[in-house]
Amino acid sequence: MEDCIFCKIVNKEIPSTTEYEDEQFLAFHDIHPKSPLHLLLVPKKHIHSVDHLEFQDRDLMGDLVLTAQKIAKGRGLRGYQLHINVGRDGGQVVDHLHMHLQANI
Ligand code: AMP
Ligand code: ZN
């Protein structure tokens, strides 16, 4: 997706503060953090939103949550928030599926 800002971050065409990376996912710090820890976890595959998920994406979404758990455990977080905005009316601004991982540390 040529004009997708998160695809550009995944492809290192624009910089981000990388927290975690593997074959499927990239996690980086939100540029406008709304809590002391505010990460964005994105699949490297471009998917517009949760509303655009297909049946074959179910493993990816399971892995997304487990990767968030892994990042949280790695940081020793005792509690955190995970949320996904879906669609403009759901607060989604960037049209590349992403999960916010936030903590008050
Ligand atoms: P959402 O409202 O769920 O679409 O969240 C999009 C998030 O992406 C917002 O919290 C923005 O602050 C964040 N964001 C936008 N551009 C960048 C960027 N270049 N690097 C890091 N975070 C970004
Ligand atoms: Zn994208």
| CA separation for the pair 77, 93 (Å, rounded) | 27
Q: For 46-95, what is each residue's pLDDT tens digit? A: 999 999 999 999 999 999 999 999 999 999 999 999 999 999 999 999 99
In one-letter notation, the amino acid at residue 15 is P
Q: The whole model's pTM is what?
A: 0.97
Whether residue 5 has its Cβ less than 6 Å from ligand 1: yes
Q: Among residues 1, 39, 35, 43, which one has the least CA distance to residue 17?
A: 39
Token digits of residue 47: 């998917």
> Which ligand has the shortest distance to the CA of 47?
2
Q: For 13-53, what is each residue's pLDDT tens digit? A: 999 999 999 999 999 999 999 999 999 999 999 999 999 99
Mutate to test the pocket of ligand 1, among 94, 97, 99 (most ligand atoms within 8 A of CB): 94
Token digits of residue 9: 């971050």
**What pLDDT was estimated at residue 2?**
77
**What pLDDT was estimated at residue 105?**
86
| CA separation for the pair 85, 81 (Å, rounded) | 13
Whether residue 15 has its Cβ less than 6 Å from ligand 1: no
CA 28, 70, 98, 40 dihedral sign is negative
What is the whole-number distance in angstroms between the Cα of residue 23 and the centre of ligand 1?
21
Whether 98 is catalytic is: yes
